[in-house]
A and B are shown apart, each in its own frame.
Chain A
Amino acid sequence: MSDRWILSSSPHLHSGHSTTRIMGDVLIALIPAVIASFVLFGWRALVVETVCVASCMAAEYLSCRVMKKPNSTGDLSCMVTGLLLAMNLPVSIPLWQAVFGCVTSIVVAKMMFGGLGQNFVNPALVGRIVLTGSFPGDMNTWTHPFAWLGRAADGVSSATPLAMLKNGEIVAERYSIWDLLLGNRTGSLGETCALALILGGAYLLVRRVISPAIPLCFIGTVGVLALLCGENPVYHLLGGGLMIGAFFMATDYVTSPITTSGKILYAVGCGALTMLIRLGGSLPEGVSFAIVIMNITVPLIERITKPRPFGAERRVRR
């Protein structure tokens, strides 16, 4: 406990933190990834992102109207959901499917549970998982970067690095570490350019929007487990959706624990489940499922990591 926590009597100054400001910061942090998606995948990337953001806002506005609640589109959280969902889609996704995913995210995962602060899982990830379950073909068509400029080396689409690992192909023959860092690989819109995501994550850390516990433990667990299992950790860190998941999805305030020990437990769980799905499951990528499963365990984590009041008994009795 540092002196940051000493409370004095009123009047207090408001720090200026508000939902709108935090969500605005997340949107700013996503700008590098949006630019990277445009450079890599072309105009259609921007079209998909615009459609997703617009349909999320429309879905939230209409939900508020139907549920006779005050209009909550102004807090920007629905824009964050829409942009994050777009980042999780392949560039070739049919637009009506993207709209369906956005409506699922906002209406089913968020507004039906009571709106922002009441959703028990990350809405954008629900949208992604529902789309993956509904349209496995369209959701797994990975266009090669720079195909929009007609400069694709071979063919228009190919497997993601993680899918190549799963099939036992050698990733190093196709992608160098620089390719993975800069995003010159197949994948969904926002996940490929690790550098842009790290830049955005660093911005969020500097602005204290997120605490480092979740991203560091999540990425660290994946790296350590990859090493222990005899895999090349670079491909597991940079080859899938880990960066966007660790910095932008797992850190969602509503669906992550409050205490630092809880955050560590949660993030280690995310990392372990990710590696379990990647190495043991039938799917090549498991970040989204891992985060959603850990989202569901958050109430339990909160219960066991509840801070003990000074002088209270060690055992929590109910």
Chain B
Amino acid sequence: MNRYWQSFSKGLIRENPTFRLVLGTCPTLAVTTAALNGLGMGAAATFVLVCSNIVISLLRKLIPNSVHLPAYIVVIAGFTTIVQMLVKAYLPAIDTALGIYLPLIVVNCIILGRAEAFAGKNSVGLSALDGLGMGCGFTGALVLMGAIRELLGKGTLFGWPEGGMIPAIGVFALPAGGFFVFGVLVWLTDRLSVRLQGRNTREELSSEVCAACALAGSCHGGACLKKEGGDAS
């Protein structure tokens, strides 16, 4: 039981894909001008993440190692197409708001990252919970960022109250404000994580994350950064 809870909960804060692993930054910055967009994007990505984790975990013994990346991408693309068609049909407003970022879920590094780091090596149940946890972490991060940016930048929250009762500071709805809010939230999550888990989480995190990273061979687990006293994560 503990193992299952661990698989699910690590995505929420400790290995939050957006604020701790800094994956999927492009949709994060682009769609979080409003909380509802963040919710839509997060839900769509979570669906793809859970389904692709399950399928990839089921097929993990069948997929030859030499072609595993194309195989993963085909699975992910299949589910992304399903999501895109569903959203287009039932939530056209969300589809307009998310635009190109909805089909781009295919190349979202969180999904491929989880397939590579987790679903390809673990059982179906664990993989599904991992996808759900990561998806919830991603959705939570997007909704939080979208809420902050919408509240400050437009003076509304989930589109309410209408008519500009709260004074808006437009810069928060602009890309520069997005980067600023993102940076502040990354910092706050780091503080929170250190407070919850103790100081050594950063090193633990880097060793876990580096195992899944394509650049691990050339960056030696951030060894050069560590030597200079920097932060390897």
Interface size class of B (residues with CB under 8 A): under 10
Q: Which of A128-136, A271-279, A281-289 contacts B (4 or more CB under 8 A)?
A: A128-136
A134, B180: Cβ atoms closer than 8 Å: no
Instruction: Enumerate chain B residues within 8 angstroms of A108, measured Cβ to Cβ.
Output: 180
Number of A-B contacts (CB under 8 A): 17
A133, B171: Cβ atoms closer than 8 Å: yes
Instruction: Enumerate chain A residues within 8 angstroms of B169, measured Cβ to Cβ.
Output: 100, 134-135
B180, A136: Cβ atoms closer than 8 Å: no
The dominant DSSP class at the B interface is helix
Q: A134 vs B154: C-alpha distance in the bound complex, in angstroms? A: 10
8 A Cβ contacts from A4-43 to B:
none
Q: Least Cβ distance of B150 to chain A in Å? A: 14
Q: Least Cβ distance of B35 to chain A in Å? A: 19
Q: Least Cβ distance of A164 to chain B in Å? A: 25
Interface string of A119-148 (1 = CB under 8 A from B): 000000000001001111000000000000
Instruction: Enumerate chain A residues within 8 angstroms of B180, measured Cβ to Cβ.
Output: 108
**B176 close to chain A: CB less than 8 A:** yes
Q: A133 vs B171: C-alpha distance in the bound complex, in angstroms? A: 6
Q: A134 vs B171: C-alpha distance in the bound complex, in angstroms? A: 5
Q: A23 vs B168: C-alpha distance in the bound complex, in angstroms? A: 34
Q: A134 vs B170: C-alpha distance in the bound complex, in angstroms? A: 4
Chain B residue with the shortest CB-CB distance to A112: B183
Interface size class of A (residues with CB under 8 A): under 10
**B174 close to chain A: CB less than 8 A:** yes
Q: Least Cβ distance of B174 to chain A in Å? A: 6
8 A Cβ contacts from B84-122 to A:
none
Q: A108 vs B171: C-alpha distance in the bound complex, in angstroms? A: 13
Q: Which of A96, A100, A133, A135 contacts B174 (CB 8 A)?
A: A133
Instruction: Enumerate chain B residues within 8 angstroms of A96, measured Cβ to Cβ.
Output: 167
Q: Least Cβ distance of A39 to chain B in Å? A: 31
Q: A96 vs B169: C-alpha distance in the bound complex, in angstroms? A: 11
Interface string of B129-169 (1 = CB under 8 A from A): 00000000000000000000000000000000000000111
Interface string of B73-92 (1 = CB under 8 A from A): 00000000000000000000
Instruction: Enumerate chain B residues within 8 angstroms of A136, measured Cβ to Cβ.
Output: 170
| Chain A residues engaging chain B, CB cutoff 8 angstroms | 96, 100, 108, 130, 133-136
- Other than A133-B174, A133-B176, A134-B170, give 5 A-B pairs with Cβ distance below 8 A: A100-B169, A133-B170, A134-B169, A134-B172, A135-B169
The 5 A-B residue pairs with the shortest CB-CB distance in the complex, in nearest-first order: A134-B170, A134-B171, A133-B171, A134-B169, A130-B171
Identify 17 residue pairs between A and B in the complex whose beta-carbon atoms are under 8 Å apart, listed by A's number. Answer: A96-B167, A100-B169, A108-B180, A130-B171, A130-B176, A133-B170, A133-B171, A133-B174, A133-B176, A134-B168, A134-B169, A134-B170, A134-B171, A134-B172, A135-B169, A135-B170, A136-B170
